[in-house]
Structure formats: C-alpha cells, structure tokens
C-alpha cells in the first residue's frame, strides 16, 4: 500500500466541524488514518463522521457506531487514532478486497471526496493530522457506504424492518438496539433476525448462535448490537445482490423481508446501518 500525509482539515476547533478535502489523484483511497492530539482530544471527542463525494453522503455515523463497527471487525483500537477503512481487510483476494475504495478519478464526475468530523465542545486545543492509504487506480466507481435507517417498536414480538437497498450489494446489516442487552449465555432484546430475498431465506439465527459463528471467524460481537454478516467467513461471493436482470435486459429490485424478533415488552428503538457497495449517486 501507498501511504502519504494529507493536508490538515480546516476548521479544527471545539464544537466545530473539521473538514478534510482529499486531493484528487490517479489512485484509489482505501483508508484514512486520523492522528488526534491536543491538550484534551482523542477519538472519543468526535461526535459524528460523514464521508462525502460532492454532495452525496457515503457514510453518516456517530462515533459510537463507527467504534462498534470497527471493534466488531476486530480492528486496532487506540484513542489517539481514528481509522476509516474503505477496503475489506480480511479478504484474501486482490483486487477484490479493495472494491469499495474510493477511486478518486472515477468519482470526479460526482465530486471531490471530503470528510467531516464534528468535534465535541469539551475538546481542548484539538489537532488533527491525516495519513491517506492508497492502492493503484481501479477505474471503479463503486464505493463502500454505511446507510442508516431507523425504526421504533413499543412491544415485544416479530416486526418487519423498513429497509430498501435499491440495487446496492449488501455486505452486512448492523442493528443497534435499546432494551435488554445480551450476555454470554442469553440473547439480547434483538433475540433473532430473519432475512428473506424473493421469499427465500438467506439468514435466520438467534443472537447466541450468531455470536458464536462470529467469534469462530474472529469477529468481536458488541453490546447492544446484532450483526447480520453475510460475509462473516470473508467470502466475497456471499455478498447479497439486491437487483436482478430480467428478460429484455432490464433490471428490477429484489424483494426483501427482514424481520426482527424483540423480547423486551417495552420494545426498542433501532438504528439499522446497511454496509453496502454501491454507485456514489444511488442509495
């Protein structure tokens, strides 16, 4: 991999949104390493993270969400560093592992890549340096996105989630929930997830069983989080397409039914984050 320092973000101050503009060159950006220093400043004092191409938002995450996602993937954890990974680190096949990286020239028709970091007002004299990690240009306009959805339910039971994927390729679905958390021997409030594509079952596991499989493949289950991981074994062929070609060559969206089973009678507030590969202009 190629790595190089990038210009410092603008507007670095407590309570403000720091903006990094990634220089456009004939390379694919596969990661950004933010080095955080200052009197009182580390990654816990970043409230939200947005990755954009032009006006299109690719990532829209809170710090807690991105931390849970990185920890689930068993990434390095140091409060001085915030790492945004656009590749699939544990995929062994090149160049497939880097699909999702931001091919800067291929994306120019949509816009320039920027990252917005909302700095918490409690930070003191924050400083941010950035290192970009690159591979050779792919000529590929497909990017990695984290797309949020929300829902709330006020009782226990089985509920269908309001999700639409619009032809994106689905890698993982993160379901952050409130209510009873899981333990080593019990299910959490999201006790089970069931996913159907065109009426065919493609995922159906209880929380405990799901976490065992994730541990087996060196993932790290996180509190208050159920992950539907279609590539838990790092096999890219298990990614789920969400559109298909019919007679005549036209594409139609596949029909999905994604059901959540809640056990806490007080219900739950849910934030679902779809990790997808998609065109920058689509979902």
Q: How confident is the model at residue 170 (pLDDT cuts 50, 70, 90)?
A: very high
Q: Do 201 and 177 share a structural domain? A: yes
| pLDDT given at position 29 | 97
As a whole number, mean pLDDT of residues 140-166 equals 95
Q: Do 148 and 252 share a structural domain? A: yes
Q: Which of 43, 20, 60, 66 is nearest to 123 (CA)?
A: 43
| pLDDT given at position 97 | 82
* Domain total of the chain: 2
Q: Do 162 and 118 share a structural domain? A: no
In which domain, by residue range, is 160 found? 144-279
Q: Do 110 and 154 share a structural domain? A: no
> Above 90 in pLDDT, residue 116?
yes
Q: Do 173 and 114 share a structural domain? A: no
| pLDDT given at position 18 | 98
| pLDDT given at position 1 | 84
Q: How confident is the model at residue 138 (pLDDT cuts 50, 70, 90)?
A: confident
* Digit-coded pLDDT (tens) for 242-271: 999 888 778 899 999 999 999 999 999 999
Q: What is the mean pLDDT of the chain?
A: 95
* Digit-coded pLDDT (tens) for 30-62: 999 999 999 999 999 999 999 999 999 999 999
Q: Which of 140, 167, 185 is the last residue of a domain?
A: 140
Residue 10's CATH number: 2.60.120.730
Q: Which of 273, 176, 270, 174 is nearest to 214 (CA)?
A: 174
Q: Which of 108, 140, 172 is the last residue of a domain?
A: 140
Q: Which of 267, 280, 9, 282 is nearest to 130 (CA)?
A: 9
> Above 90 in pLDDT, residue 174?
yes
As a whole number, mean pLDDT of residues 14-33 equals 97
Question: CA-CA distance, 45 to 122, in Å (whole number)?
Answer: 7
* Digit-coded pLDDT (tens) for 210-233: 999 999 999 999 999 999 999 999
Helices (H) and strands (E) in the chain, counts: 2, 19
As a whole number, mean pLDDT of residues 115-136 equals 97
As a whole number, mean pLDDT of residues 272-283 equals 95
DSSP letter at 111 equals -
Long-range contacts, 193-197 (Cβ 8 Å, 24+): 193/226, 193/228, 193/258, 193/259, 193/260, 193/261, 194/257, 194/258, 194/259, 194/261, 195/228, 195/256, 195/257, 195/258, 195/259, 196/256, 196/257, 196/258, 196/259, 197/240, 197/242, 197/254, 197/255, 197/256
Question: CA-CA distance, 196 to 41, in Å (whole number)?
Answer: 44
pLDDT above 70 covers a percentage of the chain that reads: 100
Q: Which of 140, 162, 194 is the last residue of a domain?
A: 140
Question: CA-CA distance, 151 to 161, in Å (whole number)?
Answer: 7
Q: Which of 72, 281, 238, 241 is nearest to 85 (CA)?
A: 72
| pLDDT given at position 217 | 97
- The model's pTM: 0.95
Q: Which of 10-24, 87-101, 248-262 has the lowest mean pLDDT?
A: 87-101
Q: How confident is the model at residue 92 (pLDDT cuts 50, 70, 90)?
A: confident
Q: How many CA atoms lie within 13 A of 165 on its CB side?
A: 28
């Amino acid at each position: 991999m190629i790595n190089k320092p990038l210009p410092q973000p603008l507007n670095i101050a407590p309570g403000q949104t720091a903006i990094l503009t990634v220089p456009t060159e004939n390379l694919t950006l596969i990661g950004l390493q933010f080095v955080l220093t200052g009197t009182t400043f580390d990654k816990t004092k970043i409230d939200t993270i947005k990755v954009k191409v032009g006006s299109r938002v690719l990532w829209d995450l809170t710090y807690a969400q991105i931390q849970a996602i990185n920890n689930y993937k068993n990434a390095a954890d140091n409060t001085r560093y915030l790492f945004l990974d656009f590749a699939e680190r544990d995929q062994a096949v090149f160049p497939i592992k880097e699909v999702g990286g931001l091919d800067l020239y291929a994306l120019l028709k949509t816009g320039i890549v920027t990252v917005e970091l909302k700095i918490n007002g409690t930070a003191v004299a924050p400083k941010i340096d950035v290192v970009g990690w690159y591979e050779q240009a792919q000529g590929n306009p497909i990017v990695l996105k984290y797309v949020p959805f929300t829902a709330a339910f006020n009782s226990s039971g089985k509920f269908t989630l309001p999700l639409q994927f619009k032809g994106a390729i689905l890698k993982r679905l993160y379901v952050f929930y409130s209510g009873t958390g899981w333990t080593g021997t019990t299910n959490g409030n999201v006790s089970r997830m069931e996913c159907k594509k065109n009426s065919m079952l493609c995922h159906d596991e209880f929380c405990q069983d799901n976490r065992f499989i994730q541990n087996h493949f060196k993932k790290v289950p996180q509190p208050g989080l159920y992950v539907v991981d279609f590539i838990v074994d790092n096999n890219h062929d298990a990614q789920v397409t969400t559109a298909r070609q019919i007679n005549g060559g036209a594409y139609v969206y596949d029909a999905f039914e994604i059901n959540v089973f809640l056990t806490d009678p007080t219900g739950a507030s849910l934030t679902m984050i779809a990790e997808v590969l998609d065109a920058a202009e689509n979902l």
